[in-house]
Chain A
């Protein structure tokens, strides 16, 4: 049994740990052996603690021996994006300004995943403060796409995506402000779910743009993503925006199929995609139709305004959120004779270029004279996008589109041109602006580089999204067997 550990999905592995067929220590050792092989090439982790992982696994095995009931993720190796607070690991958001900082508390999601019996392997690389689409904006290192080491894994949750794609952990958490779970999932060939805003507590997430940020699961399969979603969903009194909605049984619903679903294929987002990506999305639409869904094309031209609105709203919120990094209470402190000089030195030396760029963009967009033209206008666009989605969801249960216009690009290819990089997010941003859920699921490849398709739905429609994603995943698997 122990030979096949790496082939088990999270549900099967934790069932094997609960039944005693596999020990948690055996499970973690199998994954640590994989880390030893893959990490030197992929460079996905900002911190790793093998000894702590083994110790945590021993604790799970002892709990089982003492007759305690084990959780739904018992013995499952997990990785956390490094913008989630953890007391057992430093938390840097890949920024030099937080180098070595160890938070005094765990994020709610971290506590929930650990309470379910999962074993933390380490913290994953990201674009500094989650600002980027390639993980190249990390203050520490470049993470490589396991499918082609010359290419980016996507971003900003690129470390988490690469960890799953190279099987260095079975589940990971990412955060998604404009596509930062779904785009790296697409480029790295894994599943990434951005839940409805408020589904998952943000307590302990280092804030980038608070009205858009949402934490979600990243996994090798739809079923694993659903399992992790069940663990992290739910109200948390520590987050005032946390929803009180009941948590549906997601895993058990997966097999229910798509026969009653009306699916809208979003033509405007197909037009921005490369031919290979557009063709994969077309095949996904045909597959859903074959499985009994009613698929029609829909044009939602308002979505094109999402990209410019996002690059006003997100930097505006970031310029306010990141004001807290001033060298006083935590993190890096620069030298200065006065408090203000010290703060300027701390921020100028501690933040990287992209973070400075977005802070300045946000400060500009909020400043007197430009507020109406930029920030207020972007907020009106947000209403327009939400209204357009509401109209679409009155006719369709789900919308289908590309996740990213292209497959994984080369390291360095877009890093000198922020505007070109920003365009990577055109298909994912609208769901953040409206607060609705969306998922990326692998559907084919172009010359070995994975292609992801995106399913979007109205608020609280995660069950539907996962069912449709599961149907696509299963259809691909059957095709592969033929």
Chain B
């Protein structure tokens, strides 16, 4: 089992999760995540290889309903919660940034 996580890994995972960590936060998370990985690394049992991977407690396949249109929530109501809107759209900063 892997135990411990490097500073570079912490920074990489934070980037994947769209989080920006200050240097002292990187150090704190490295220490804590390493200890948590030690805890969760302790999953050991001879029978595990024979056990199916269980994603859910229910064996649901598809849940269908009658194909009848029902009204959804009004657009204006949903836009009211948004930090920034323009007309009937959510407004965000430009998607393409300067090259890194």
Partner of B51, one of A341, A360, A383: A383
Partner of B54, one of A104, A105, A330, A386: A386
Residue A435, interface by CB 8 Å = yes
Contact B81–A348 (Cβ < 8 Å): no
* CB interface residues, A 314-368, toward B, < 8 Å: 319, 323, 326-333, 336-345, 347-348, 351, 356-357, 359-361, 363-365, 367
Bound Cα distance from A6 to B16, whole angstroms:
52
Bound Cα distance from A9 to B33, whole angstroms:
45
Which interface residue of B9, B17, B52, B84 has the most chain A CB atoms within 10 A?
B17
Complex contacts, A374 vs chain B, CB 8 Å: 40
Q: Given contacts A339-B93, A339-B94, A359-B19, is CB(A240)–CB(B45) below 8 Å?
A: no
Contact A333–B1 (Cβ < 8 Å): no
Complex contacts, A311 vs chain B, CB 8 Å: 36, 39-40
Q: Given contacts A308-B43, A357-B33, is CB(A102)–CB(B81) below 8 Å?
A: yes
Complex contacts, B95 vs chain A, CB 8 Å: 338-340
Closest CB in chain A relative to B96 CB, distance in Å: 7
Residue A381, interface by CB 8 Å = yes
Complex contacts, B35 vs chain A, CB 8 Å: 418-419
Chain B residue with Cβ nearest A330: B81
Bound Cα distance from A340 to B92, whole angstroms:
10
Interface of A is mostly: helix
Complex contacts, A469 vs chain B, CB 8 Å: none
Residue B8, interface by CB 8 Å = no
Complex contacts, B32 vs chain A, CB 8 Å: 357, 418-419
Complex contacts, A363 vs chain B, CB 8 Å: 13, 16-17
Q: Given contacts A329-B81, A357-B33, A364-B9, is CB(A387)–CB(B43) below 8 Å?
A: no
Contact B48–A381 (Cβ < 8 Å): yes
Q: Given contacts A338-B93, A370-B2, A378-B40, is CB(A384)–CB(B48) below 8 Å?
A: yes
Chain B residue with Cβ nearest A360: B13
Bound Cα distance from A361 to B10, whole angstroms:
9
Closest CB in chain A relative to B27 CB, distance in Å: 13
Partner of B55, one of A102, A211, A333, A339: A211
Q: Given contacts A340-B97, A380-B52, is CB(A101)–CB(B81) below 8 Å?
A: yes
Chain A residue with Cβ nearest B62: A240
* CB interface residues, B 9-49, toward A, < 8 Å: 9-10, 13-14, 16-21, 29, 32-33, 35-37, 39-45, 47-49
Residue B69, interface by CB 8 Å = no
Residue A376, interface by CB 8 Å = yes
Closest CB in chain A relative to B41 CB, distance in Å: 7
Residue A422, interface by CB 8 Å = yes
Q: Given contacts A361-B33, A370-B2, is CB(A347)–CB(B18) below 8 Å?
A: yes
Q: Mark B64-100, 1 if CB is under 8 A from A, else 0.
A: 0100000001000110111110000010111111000
Q: Mark A369-396, 1 if CB is under 8 A from B, else 0.
A: 0100110111111111011000000000
Contact B45–A305 (Cβ < 8 Å): yes
Residue A250, interface by CB 8 Å = no
Complex contacts, A345 vs chain B, CB 8 Å: 20
- If A308-B40, A359-B19, A386-B54 are given as contacts, then 13 extra A-B residue pairs at C-beta distance below 8 Å, sorted by A number, are A104-B77, A307-B39, A308-B42, A328-B82, A331-B81, A336-B93, A337-B93, A337-B97, A339-B94, A341-B97, A348-B19, A356-B17, A383-B51
Question: Chain B: residues with CB nearer than 8 A to chain A?
Answer: 1-2, 5, 9-10, 13-14, 16-21, 29, 32-33, 35-37, 39-45, 47-49, 51-58, 60, 63, 65, 73, 77-78, 80-84, 90, 92-97
Question: Chain A: residues with CB nearer than 8 A to chain B?
Answer: 101-105, 197-198, 211, 237, 240-241, 302, 305, 307-309, 311-312, 319, 323, 326-333, 336-345, 347-348, 351, 356-357, 359-361, 363-365, 367, 370, 373-374, 376-384, 386-387, 418-419, 422, 434-435
Per CB-CB distance, the 5 closest pairs between chain A and chain B, nearest first, are A435-B57, A338-B97, A333-B83, A379-B53, A383-B51
A-B contact pairs, 6 of them (CB 8 A): A308-B39, A319-B17, A344-B20, A379-B55, A419-B32, A419-B39
